[in-house]
Amino acid sequence: MKNNGKVVLSLIIAFVLSAYLQDRLPSFTVYAIKIPFIIAAFVYFAFRHNWIIGIIATALSAVFGDGLSLSCGIAYLIVCSLTTILIYFFLKKQLVENSISCGLIALPLTLVLLLIQYFCIVVYEGVSLPFYFLLTKLLLTAVITAIVTVVLSELFYRFEIIVGNKEVVNEELG
């Protein structure tokens, strides 16, 4: 890593754009799915950079994600903190550092995040949804988020190459 200042600036730009997209794009399908772009930004910066950038990404995802969500306000903080620990102690050793791996991390992360948010809504608001509705929404949102994470991770990587934060690596060699 050549310049942490440029990486932090890229991180802030990515999170602001992700939060804007997550807030402004309408939900779709009968399940009212909002794509969690903030998860994509978090996973990219936590997985493809060092642990300091991962901690900053955790803090930004907690601020932006919990600020935009309608749940208890700590779901992103809990899930992203645990994911950061998991990434640095296990996943960096097991997965190749590429966009597909970011999508693989985003899939279960989204499931856990949505379950915590649903639990908070049930506890605090007293609203419950039918099981089939919840299960379908969870699975659709997780799959869509994983796909969006792969695409955004590749875009973030290309942006960082242009800015000078990353160098071009032949991903076929691992």
Over residues 104-148, the pLDDT tens digits come to 999 999 999 888 888 877 777 777 778 888 888 889 999 999 999
Q: Are 41 and 152 in contact (CB under 8 A)?
A: yes
Can you read off the two tokens belonging to residue 3? 């310049």
pTM over 0.85: yes
Query: What pLDDT is stored for residue 168 in this prediction?
Result: 75
CA distances from 85 to 9, 14, 51, 82, 100 (A): 23, 22, 9, 5, 20
Q: For residues 152 and 44, is the Cβ–Cβ distance under 8 A?
A: yes
Structural domains of the chain sorted by starting position, each given as residue range(s) with its CATH number in brackets? 4-165 (1.10.1760)
Q: What was the pLDDT predicted at 173?
A: 39
What is the phi/psi pair of residue 67, to 5°?
-70, -35
pLDDT of 174 > 50? The answer is: no
Chain centroid to CA 69: how far? 14
pLDDT exceeds 70 at position 62:
yes
Q: With a cut of 50, say whether residue 72 has pLDDT above it.
A: yes
